[in-house]
Amino acid sequence: MLSGVSWITIVKMSENATSQLLARIVGKCPICKLPPRRHAWSQLASTICGDPSFQESLANFFQLFRTHEWMRLRAYQGFDPMRDAVVVYAVRCPDGGALVLAVRSNFDLYAPDELYGCEIIDAKASDALCTQLENWEDI
Ligand SMILES: [Zn+2]
């Protein structure tokens, strides 16, 4: 039962958890060499993993990630609360440029989230990507 707890509170809690997760995973931003305070994040894409039937889709997902085809990657918004997922986040650096992180998010809350990849994009690519994304949250 969720009595007494509004959905807004739950969304805020999960956003805070994501901010903390990204701060921990990034450690120091490779662009500005500082801990990622004053950086903002937005979720770019997600896809379910950990099941053979998603293997081909997952391979395409990582191909798009590695080749920086962010708008095609954005078409992936798969999520199932009962399954593991790979979530891609954009983290905007105030110095210009951004990091794009692929993080394995485990359905089992006690299994640690794992960084699968980190791509660094320059200010021009970052501006093109960031204007397409909504719901930016501060880390
Ligand atoms: Zn930075």
Over residues 12-31, the pLDDT tens digits come to 667 788 999 999 999 999 99
CA of 44 to the centre of ligand 1 (A): 18
Quote the pLDDT of residue 17: 87
| pLDDT above 80: residue 11 | no
Q: If you average pLDDT over every residue of the chain, what do you get?
A: 89
**Domain presence at residue 1:** no
Residues facing 41 on adjacent strands: 91, 137
**Domain presence at residue 2:** no
Residues facing 102 on adjacent strands: 88, 117
* Alpha carbons 49 and 51: distance in angstroms, whole number: 6
CA 16, 91, 86: angle at the middle one, nearest 5?
75
| pLDDT above 70: residue 72 | yes
Name the more confident of 4 and 1: 4
**Domain presence at residue 71:** yes
**Domain presence at residue 118:** yes
* Alpha carbons 45 and 105: distance in angstroms, whole number: 12
Which residue segment(s) compose the domain that 39 sits in? 7-138
How many structural domains does the chain have?
A: 1
User: CA separation (Å) from 58 to 51, 96, 105?
Assistant: 10, 30, 14
**Range with lowest mean pLDDT among 9-18, 44-53, 67-76:** 9-18
Give Cα 22 to chain centroid, integer Å. Answer: 8
CA of 122 to the centre of ligand 1 (A): 12
Contact 65, 73 (CB under 8 A): yes
CA of 120 to the centre of ligand 1 (A): 10
CA of 131 to the centre of ligand 1 (A): 18
CA of 108 to the centre of ligand 1 (A): 30
pTM reported for the whole predicted model: 0.87
| pLDDT above 90: residue 79 | no
Strand, helix or coil for residue 10 = helix
